[in-house]
Amino acid sequence: MKQETSEILNAFKENQKNRGRLLINCPDQPGIIAAVSKFLFDHGANIMESSQYSTNPEGGSFFIRIEFECSELQEKKEELTSEFQEIAKKFSMDWKLSLVSELKKTAIFVSKELHCMRELLLEWQGGDLMTDISLVISNHEDAREIVERLGIPFHYIPATKENRAEAEAKQLSLLKEHEIDVIILARYMQILTPDFVAAHPYKIINIHHSFLPAFVGARPYDRAYQRGVKLIGATSHYVTDDLDEGPIIEQDIMRVDHRDQVEDLKKIGRSIERSVLARAVKWHLEDRVIVHGNKTILF
């Protein structure tokens, strides 16, 4: 199974070897698109897709995502990065140039609920999630067989309030060793410390039910059932020091009624969580997300 997935990923990297992405965030003013387009044209690049947004043309913030094709891009990347600095400085840009063929390295964190992890692995196996899943870290052993069957390294690191510092030190060491770009909390039921979050700003993606802030804490579905909720859903967001309040990437809902019991609500909730997290991760991997304050711009 790992060989089949590797073949899919390698074929993707070969097919996309000349495809690049440019993400830009800067103060809005005339001439930004013209300057960037001319730069790409001068370097032999052809724009394949371009999406932009301005919060306000008079003193607002401007965002743009450009996907382009450029022959021998892998050899030209350093040159493009260096020469774009002049434009970036002129327009006070926060920017990132990435090669589509350079797949991001991903780590999945999971506890005992495996539905979100299963969905990610399924999408990855089918070639719908283009990433290098480098390892899975868990504070339980439940996921080991599933993960190792796919040839992915599995690391069991018990984590509690009492040993949190020790556990995170081991986790951070593994993330550094594997040069991880993205961390996915696929129902990882532990709170991360500020130091851990600070080490990976806007690179940690979480998923949880959307009952917050109405039903905080344990047994949210039981309390939602008692309250007679009519909508349930899920939220995927970047992790910040403010618990479950980071920039939202994706959300979805489903209508329920009085016929649905607690177990029905949980089953529906798990289904929504799976799809919402998968979409959020995919958009991040495709460089479609720009964080702006505590919000996200999605292209």
Phi first, then psi, for residue 245 (nearest 5°) are -125, 20
Please report which confidence band the pLDDT of residue 1 belongs to, taking 50, 70 and 90 as the band edges.
Answer: low
Q: Please say if the pLDDT value at position 134 is more than 60.
A: yes
Q: pLDDT (tens digit, 9 = 90+) per residue, 5-56?
A: 999 999 999 999 999 999 999 999 999 999 999 999 999 999 999 999 999 9
| CB-based contact 298:237 (threshold 8 Å) | no
Query: What's the confidence (pLDDT) of residue 278?
Result: 98
For residue 142, give both structure tokens: 């439940």
241 is annotated as an active-site residue: no
142, 244, 252, 264: which is the annotated catalytic residue? 244
Please report which confidence band the pLDDT of residue 244 belongs to, taking 50, 70 and 90 as the band edges.
Answer: confident
CA dist., res. 120 & res. 158, Å (int): 23
Please report which confidence band the pLDDT of residue 212 belongs to, taking 50, 70 and 90 as the band edges.
Answer: low
Q: pLDDT (tens digit, 9 = 90+) per residue, 158-181?
A: 998 889 999 999 999 999 999 999
DSSP class of residue 77 equals H
Q: pLDDT (tens digit, 9 = 90+) per residue, 147-159?
A: 999 999 999 999 9
Planar angle of CA 34, 288, 295, nearest 5 degrees? 100
The residues near 233 (Cβ < 8 Å, ≥ 6 apart) are: 209, 210, 251, 252, 253, 254, 269, 272, 276
The sign of the dihedral angle between the CA atoms of 55, 58, 63, 67 is: positive
Query: What's the confidence (pLDDT) of residue 162?
Result: 86
Q: pLDDT (tens digit, 9 = 90+) per residue, 259-289?
A: 999 999 999 999 999 999 999 999 999 999 9
| CB-based contact 21:287 (threshold 8 Å) | yes
Across all residues in the chain, what is the average pLDDT? 95
Q: Please say if the pLDDT value at position 83 is more than 60.
A: yes
CA dist., res. 74 & res. 91, Å (int): 26
